[in-house]
Amino acid sequence: MPSRTWGLFLVLLLAMIPGCNNTLNPLCGSSRPVPVIGSLSPSTVTFAQVQQGFTLTVNGNQFVSSTVVLVNGKTLAANVLNNSQLKVKLTSDVIPGPGSVNVSVVTPSGGSGDVGCSSGGTSSALSLAVN
């Protein structure tokens, strides 16, 4: 077998290995990265602000247009400004009273099929203080 054919065979073999690193798998082009959350702005708000509805800015990286925000387990649509910042409006429908609120971001899986690619996922959570 010519060396070029062996190279193609090796690439296809790697593509079939579950959990294969997406950077090595040429079939993972449509997979989405796991989002990373870095900070919240503001990190503390009053419940009066929540009752009026306020916009929370979430900073991080690897956000895509389908990334959403989870606030205490409730999924909220986000306005993704770019791959490192998104905004979400929070109201008393989502935050019923003062306390600590867990905020994370989720990117749904997309288009990678069953070819050994990971796609999407949930970030770690940060805490928003509501006084």
**pLDDT tens track of the chain, all 131 residues?**
555 555 445 444 444 444 444 444 555 555 678 899 999 999 999 999 999 999 999 999 999 999 999 998 899 999 999 999 999 999 999 999 999 999 999 998 765 454 456 567 899 999 999 99
Q: Which CATH class is domain 36-130?
A: mainly beta
Spatial separation of the C-alpha atoms in residues 26 and 115, rounded to whole Å? 10
Spatial separation of the C-alpha atoms in residues 78 and 130, rounded to whole Å? 20
The set of residues, in sequence order, having a beta carbon less than 8 Å from that of 97 and lying 6+ positions away, is: 47, 130
Domain boundaries, the chain: 36-130
Beta-carbon neighbour count of residue 58 at 10 Å?
27
| Residue 97 confidence (pLDDT) | 96
| Residue 96 confidence (pLDDT) | 95
